[in-house]
Structure 1
Amino acid sequence: MKRVGIMSMQRIANYGSFLQAYALKQLIEELNCKVEFVDYHIGAPIITENADSKNKYIRKIEKGLEIFKYQVPFAHKLSFIRYKQSFAKKYMPFLGISDDMNYNPTLDCLVIGSDEVFNCIQKNSNVGYSLELFGKDNHAKKLLTYAASFGNTTMDKLKKYKKDDEVGTLLKKFDAISVRDTNSGVIVEQLTGKNPVYNLDPVLIYDYVNCCDKIPDIKTNEKYLVLYAYAGRISNDEANWISVYAKKKKLKVYAIGGVQKCADRFVDCSPFEVLAYFKNAEEVITDTFHGTIFSVITHRQFTTLIRKSVGNSYGNEEKLRDLLERLGLADRMTTKVEDAEKINEKSIDYAKIDKLLKAHRTVAREYLRKNLGK
């Protein structure tokens, strides 16, 4: 049995990061491989302007204090803090992850991805600039990626900070490269001269709804709208509009993933329960990549809010536009939350979407089988 490592964003307390890591683990285990998650050493961030504190304890305190600035019920704030503090202890065991770090193990193969593992030109001190995410110093016989993304890192940024040659040299050492978006594909092509394989995020490839036995049935005595967004990203004006809209539709607002001013309830639940809440929701409004994916795999009516990148600020436009265009759902995105009223009225041909996903799942499994199978 082959020993395969996955290097991803698996330790981040985030539903999307967890579910993509769990999905990729399941897909690789289907190939009769023994899977373990591999850690990387965090480097100093390239962008130091307004960067987070390097000290993880100070950073946690800063993040905790930031929550109390939001105009949300005090009980929601406390629930959110408990959710963040208990995430690792509750859910990392599902991935086979302990508190002990697993650096540079000897492997038959190391798979880097999915998620924004190549997003190296940024200020997030949780990740920083780590060349191990590009395969440096690995102890694997074979090295590949699955649906890796550069996120907001562009070729221009790599050149601006003079990291293009270093990154390109490491990328050329991969045995196979799979990316999830056009920006990442263009960078790989320019730095290596090779065409990468395009694969969708593992949450779309692993059939959670039909194959995962950990998703419970959620019963509520009220109809609700899921608002899936990071705390602090939904503006007061947007929250006010969502509150009025939900009342007009006679829906409660369930905030998942982050506290929100307009929420009737902040839902602290497991990653698998997140999919159950999505499945039973009347509608979804989200401004995240995985919130969009959760909506698709549970066949919801949804609106995706696009945030444009300005300077070194973090936006989501590139990855969300790419994702929705690949799925033929570009009409679900907008920069104005008010558009959600008309967008969520438009039905989605999920039979067509499922047919498309079936084809992508075949391609993805073939890529993994070819590179990991016997």
Structure 2
Amino acid sequence: MRKVGIMSMQRIANYGSFLQAYALKQLIEKVGCNVEFVDYHVGAPVIAENADSKNKVVRKIEKGLETFRYQAPLAHKLSFIRYKQSFARKYMPLLGIADEMNYNPTVDCLVIGSDEVFNCIQKNSNVGYSPELFGKNNYAKKLITYAASFGNTTLEKLEKYKKANEVGALLKKFDAISVRDANSGTIVEQLTGKEPVYNLDPVLTYDYMNCCDKIPQVQTNEKYLILYAYAGRISNDEADWIAAYAKKKNLKVYAIGGIQKCADRFVDCSPFEVLAYFRNAEEVITDTFHGSIFSVITHRPFTTLIRKSVGNSYGNEEKLSDLLKRLGLANRMTTKIEDTENINEKAIDYAKVDEQLKAHREVAKEYLRKNLS
């Protein structure tokens, strides 16, 4: 049986990162391969700014203190800290990931992706700049990607920070390249002269709601909307609007993934329970890529808030607009929280969306079969 390594963002304490890693593992195992996760050495970030240029210990302490500066109930803050601290211990074993790092193993094929593995022009010291994410120093007989993304790293940024030549040279060594969005596809084409395959994120490709037996039933005695956003990204004005909106609709606000000023409850749960909570929600408000995907696969009414990139700040516009346009759901996006009421009142033709997903899933499975068999 072929031995396949996956190099992704699998150690990030984040539901989306976990569920995409788990999904890709399932998809590759279905091809008949043994799978292990591969780690990369984190280098210094290309953009060194403020706290993000400090060492990991200092940054971790500052992130913890930052939690207490958010406007949210104290109980939610303490629960959020426990959730972050216990995430790896609780959930990494479900991926077969040990505490010991797995650097540069010998495998038949190394699959880099999915997630923003190519998003190298940024300032997050937890991710940094690592040529290993572009395949450098690998010990694999074959090197491919699956739904890899440059995030909001653009060709202009690669050239500005003088990384285009190095990245281009490394990309040319891949046996096959699959990307998940147009920006990433454009960069690959410009740097290699080859057109990549487009595949959806594994959370969409792996049919969680029909194939995964780990999603439990979650019982609540109240109706709720889910606010799925990172802590600190929902402004005070947005939070106040959401609180009033939920009250008008007689819904509780459940915050998942981050603490929020307007939340009635912060939900600390397993990644599989996240999908159960989404399945039972009346509606969803999110400003994240995977929050939008969770809404789609659970057939929820949802609104996606678009954040534009300004300077070196992190935006979500490129990846979210690309995703939702591919699924015919561009009308779920807005930059104004006040649009949520009208957007969530519009029914989504999920039968049509599911037909599109079915076709995308076949393309993805064929790509994996072709390159892993």
Match of 1:360, as an amino acid?
Answer: H
Conserved 8 A contact 1:6-1:112: yes
The CA distance in 1 between the partners of 2:109 and 2:58, in whole Å, is 36
Shift of 1:53: 4.4
CA RMSD of aligned residues (A): 0.6
Conserved 8 A contact 1:135-1:170: yes
The CA distance in 2 between the partners of 1:155 and 1:235, in whole Å, is 31
The CA distance in 2 between the partners of 1:322 and 1:53, in whole Å, is 31
Shift of 1:54: 3.9
Match of 1:169, as an amino acid?
Answer: A
The CA distance in 1 between the partners of 2:58 and 2:87, in whole Å, is 19
| Structure 1 position 356 matched with structure 2 position 356 | yes
The CA distance in 2 between the partners of 1:354 and 1:186, in whole Å, is 27
Residue 287 (structure 1) aligns with: 287
TM-score (norm 1): 0.99
| Structure 1 position 141 matched with structure 2 position 149 | no
| Structure 1 position 129 matched with structure 2 position 145 | no
Shift of 1:60: 1.3
Q: How does 1:1-374 map to 2 (within 5 A)?
A: 1-373=1-373
Conserved 8 A contact 2:45-2:53: no
In structure 1, stretches of 5+ residues that fail to align are none
Match of 2:356, as an amino acid?
Answer: L
Match of 1:284, as an amino acid?
Answer: V
Deviations 1:253-293 (A, max 9, x none): 00000000000000000000000000000000000000000
Q: Residue 320 of structure 2 aligns to a residue in which SS?
A: helix
CA gap 1:51/1:161 in 2 versus in 1, 3 angstroms: farther
The CA distance in 2 between the partners of 1:206 and 1:49, in whole Å, is 37
Percent identity of equivalent pairs: 84
The CA distance in 2 between the partners of 1:10 and 1:56, in whole Å, is 18
In structure 2, stretches of 5+ residues that fail to align are none
Q: Residue 255 of structure 1 aligns to a residue in which SS?
A: strand
Q: Residue 152 of structure 1 aligns to a residue in which SS?
A: coil
Q: Residue 146 of structure 1 aligns to a residue in which SS?
A: strand
Q: What is the number of residues matched between the two proteins? A: 373
The CA distance in 2 between the partners of 1:340 and 1:184, in whole Å, is 29
Q: Residue 226 of structure 1 aligns to a residue in which SS?
A: strand
Deviations 1:5-40 (A, max 9, x none): 000000000000000000000000001100000000
The CA distance in 2 between the partners of 1:228 and 1:184, in whole Å, is 25
Deviations 1:151-206 (A, max 9, x none): 01000000001110000000000000000000000000000000000000000000
The CA distance in 2 between the partners of 1:298 and 1:56, in whole Å, is 36
The CA distance in 2 between the partners of 1:43 and 1:333, in whole Å, is 35
The CA distance in 1 between the partners of 2:179 and 2:73, in whole Å, is 40
Q: Residue 362 of structure 1 aligns to a residue in which SS?
A: helix
Shift of 1:51: 5.0
Q: Residue 115 of structure 2 aligns to a residue in which SS?
A: coil
TM-score (norm 2): 0.99
Conserved 8 A contact 1:51-1:125: no
Q: Residue 68 of structure 1 aligns to a residue in which SS?
A: helix
